[in-house]
Amino acid sequence: MRVLVSGAAGFVGSHMCDRLLKEGHTVVALDNFLTGLPQNVAHLARNKRFTFREQDVTERFEVDGPFDAVMHMASPASPRDYLECPIETLDVGSMGTKHMIEAALTNEAVFLLTSTSECYGDPHVHPQVETYWGNVNPVGPRSCYDESKRFAEAYTMAYHRKYGLRTRIARIFNTYGPRMKLNDGRVVPAFLDQALRGEPITVFGDGSQTRSFCYVSDLVDGLYRLLHSDEVYPVNLGNPTEMTIRQFAEAIRDRIGSKSAIIYEPLPEDDPKQRKPDITKARTLLGWEPKVTLEDGIEKTIEYFRGAVPITA
Task: Report the CATH number that the domain containing residue 104 is assigned in CATH.
Answer: 3.40.50.720
Whether 310 shows a pLDDT value over 70: the answer reads no
- Decide if 3 contacts 69 (C-beta within 8 A): yes
147 and 259 housed in the same domain? no
Per-residue confidence band for 162, with pLDDT thresholds at 50, 70 and 90: very high
Ranking 13-17, 58-62, 199-203 by mean pLDDT, the lowest is 199-203
Mean of the pLDDT values across residues 59-81?
A: 95
Supply the pLDDT for residue 244.
93
Supply the pLDDT for residue 308.
59
Percent of the chain at pLDDT > 70 equals: 98
Range of the domain at 189: 181-211+241-276+292-305
11 and 109 housed in the same domain? yes
d(CA 73, CA 170): 10
Look at strands 26-31 and 110-116 and give their pairing: unpaired
Residue 171 lies in a domain: yes
Q: Higher-confidence residue: 272 or 216? A: 216
Supply the pLDDT for residue 224.
98
Supply the pLDDT for residue 239.
97
Per-residue confidence band for 258, with pLDDT thresholds at 50, 70 and 90: confident
108 and 252 housed in the same domain? no
Average pLDDT, the chain: 94
Residue 134 lies in a domain: yes
- Decide if 203 contacts 249 (C-beta within 8 A): yes
204 and 220 housed in the same domain? no
62 and 135 housed in the same domain? yes
Supply the pLDDT for residue 51.
98
Domain CATH number, residue 255: 3.90.25.10
For the annotated catalytic residues, the residue numbers are 145
93 and 56 housed in the same domain? yes
Task: Provide the phi-psi class of 257: left if phi over 0, else alpha when psi is between -120 and 50, else beta.
Answer: left
